[in-house]
Amino acid sequence: MHILVIGAAGMVGRKLVAKLARDGGPGGRAIDTLTLVDVVPPAVPEGFSGSAEAVTADLSAPGEAEALVARRPDIVFHLAAVVSGEAEADFDKGYRINLDGTRYLFEAIRQEGLKAPYKPRVVFTSSIAVFGAPFPDRIHDEFFTTPLTSYGTQKAIGELLLSDYSRRGFFDGIGIRLPTICIRPGKPNLAASGFFSGILREPLAGREAVLPVSEDVRHWFASPRAAVGFLVHAAEVDTAALGDRRNISLPGLSATVGEEIAALRRVGGDKAVALIRREPDPTIARIVAGWAQDFDTRRAEALGFRAETSFDAIVRAHVEDELGGVVGG
């Protein structure tokens, strides 16, 4: 089996690659080749028994998608994207990476299949940002996509392309709308949602964090552990059960910022909570106000997707996976 991971140097990409190298492909199948791609050099996993190649490439550059697809991977994980805040700040870059890169990839697969039969599984990471206010109390998969950000618009177009290319039989695609991933390890990024992780990650490590919105802001979350599980399961799920509706909203946890902080207090104590500094940011507040807060994910759950059911579990997963089980660094 040959697996191509585009966006392999990102946080979720690195964790996905580590799991694939450790546990094998979907269904435990042996992986002969891992091709890892990003705009910065991805790390090759240690101890992997197959062939692993790190490729530095920009999917939106001419010829790059064709070169990657010419190797005919069996599974393509498309994780590469410019995050929400950066896509909003840099209109051209957001559309070039998030839309053009995605279309080039899909079209390269189609063209490769015209040479000789070829139909890989394509797992596309979409986002709950494809939905825009006003919302029902809980959003179901049939709710219309009216994104209120450039990032959400780019992901929504990607979803439409994936469904159409799958309908036409060019590849076997599934688009997974990830919740906001929390707690993201490492340094803060330019995502408008970054503070959701920051107000937990930094205090757990003994550092100060900034909270730019009020504590009654509600959002939809899942952990990095859950995100990797989503990706692997998407690669093996029976897409016949999806029909032509190839994009699904994944399970998560609806919680307020106040509930996040309460979980931080239970796991990290009052000392950790005291490190959160309130600093209102109207721009961030405006963007977040247009995001979905709760989802009806019975369709995804029926297909076997699973996530955490408490914020305490999300916080503890971070402490175990990133801090060696120790709060306060």
Q: Name every residue whose Cβ is closer than 8 Å to that of residue 131 and which is 6 or more positions away in sequence.
A: 139, 143, 145, 146, 147, 152, 291, 292
Could you give the dihedral angle defined by the CA atoms of residues 122, 125, 126 and 129, in that order, rounded to the nearest 10 degrees? Answer: 180
What's CA 126's distance to the chain center, in Å?
A: 7
Give the DSSP letter of residue 42. Answer: P
273, two tokens: 């909570």
Phi, psi of 154 (to 5 degrees): -65, -40
Of 243, 131, 213, nearest in space to 179 by CA: 131
Q: What does the alpha-carbon distance between residue 127 and residue 155 come to, in Å, rounded to a whole number?
A: 7
Neighbouring C-beta atoms of residue 10, cutoff 10 Å: 22
3-state secondary structure of 82: coil
Euclidean distance between the first and the last CA atom of the chain, given in angstroms as a whole number: 40
3-state secondary structure of 69: helix
Phi, psi of 145 (to 5 degrees): -95, 115
Determine which helix (DSSP H) or strand (DSSP E) holds 51, and give its type and residue range: strand 51-56
Judge contact between 161 and 103, C-beta under 8 A. Answer: yes
Active-site pick, 95, 104, 118, 151: 151
Burial of 298 (0-12, 13-18, 19+ CB in 10 A): exposed
Q: Is 151 a catalytic residue?
A: yes
The residues assigned a catalytic role are 151
